[in-house]
Amino acid sequence: MIYSIPLMVESIASQIKTVWDLQVYDSPTQQGITPPCFFVFLMPSDSRDEIDKRTFRNLAWDIVYVQERNAVDAYRILHEVAEQLQELFETLTYTDGTETIIQHTHDINISIEDQELHFKFRTSARVYIPEDEVIMQTMEGDNVEVEN
């Protein structure tokens, strides 16, 4: 299985689209958006090396829900979206296109800032990063040849 940040963003967006038929963006844009919509941002995250070419990735995410400014019942709608996101992201269904796994989310934080809902959470995974081995087949110089 391939574990990458772009595929994580796609998996998060796909999960959002199971509930809402809204646009999901992965980068900030000032023009051309039609609220309501979602944004998915990677927040400051960390990783640490472990034994046997493994890395522990602790990724932080911020799903931002944007609606029309000063909409009627704006905060009621934001509270409803927050509740739905909390239920939806108890786990994250991650796929690389060939395999699918369920990841637990943790450290959920919900806030409303400048009439936008921020739903933050973390995902963690141990990742094995294989190294390409370079096997010397021939050596030049002094007419010496090495074979496997």
Question: According to the model, what pLDDT value does residue 133 have?
Answer: 55
> Which spans in 1-117 are helix H?
5-17, 74-88
As a whole number of angstroms, the distance between CA 104 and CA 90 comes to 7
Give yes or no for a contact between 119 and 85, defined as CB atoms under 8 angstroms apart. Answer: yes
Total residue count of the chain as it appears in this document: 148
142 alpha carbon, distance to own chain's centre: 53
Along the 148 residues of the chain, how does pLDDT read in single tens digits? 888 899 999 999 999 999 999 999 998 876 778 899 999 999 998 888 877 777 888 999 999 999 998 888 999 999 999 999 999 999 999 999 999 999 999 999 999 999 999 999 999 987 766 666 555 555 454 554 445 4
Question: According to the model, what pLDDT value does residue 90 have?
Answer: 97
Domains and CATH numbers, the chain: 5-128 (3.30.2000.10)
CA nearest to 104, candidates 58, 73, 51: 58
Question: According to the model, what pLDDT value does residue 135 have?
Answer: 53
